[in-house]
């Protein structure tokens, strides 16, 4: 499967978050061309500061492999991971992150800052812009509805 195929699954998970009135972010972890973990934002519904799509996907992947080490794995996520999630990605020894949208307010892999550049013991390869239009449409729709609701 190609990057686009796995990212489209992440977009489906972002839609699930959107349906739950969560910021629409979805994530999948892939190893050997197979999805081993999935996640979507659940911060509001679970009132959890850790309720990010990447954290759920990483946790599920670790359970699938029976290990905290996700060497050789790729994370596909519809928005650039925040600094917290980037820390979890680096600590899990993830090989690569593929994301759709740059997050200039909180991104940890190039948007706001790049944790790959601070000299940690591991860094991840990064690919940006995969399925950008699909992810942007969902995020734009979510925040437009949120602004209209607040009026």
What residues are annotated to the active site?
54
Separation in Å, CA 31 to CA 65, 94, 117: 10, 10, 25
- Cα 101 to chain centroid distance, Å, stands at 10
> In 3D, which of 44, 47, 76 has the Cα closest to residue 61?
76
How distant, in Å, are the alpha carbons of 11, 35, 91, 126 from that of 129? 13, 20, 24, 10
């Amino acid at each position: 499967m190609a990057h686009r195929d796995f990212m489209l699954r992440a977009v489906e998970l972002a839609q699930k978050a959107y349906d739950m009135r969560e910021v629409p972010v979805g994530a999948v972890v892939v190893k050997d061309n197979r999805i081993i973990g999935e996640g979507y934002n659940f911060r509001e519904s679970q009132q959890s500061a850790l309720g990010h799509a990447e954290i759920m996907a990483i946790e599920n992947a670790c359970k699938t492999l029976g290990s905290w080490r996700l060497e050789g794995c790729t994370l596909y996520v519809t928005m650039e991971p925040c600094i917290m999630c980037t820390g979890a990605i680096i600590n899990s020894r993830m090989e690569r992150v593929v994301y759709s949208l740059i997050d200039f307010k909180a991104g940890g892999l190039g948007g706001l800052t790049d944790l790959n550049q601070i000299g940690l013991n591991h860094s991840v390869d990064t690919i940006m812009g995969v399925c950008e239009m699909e992810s942007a449409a969902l995020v734009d729709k979510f925040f437009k509805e949120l602004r209209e609701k607040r009026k």
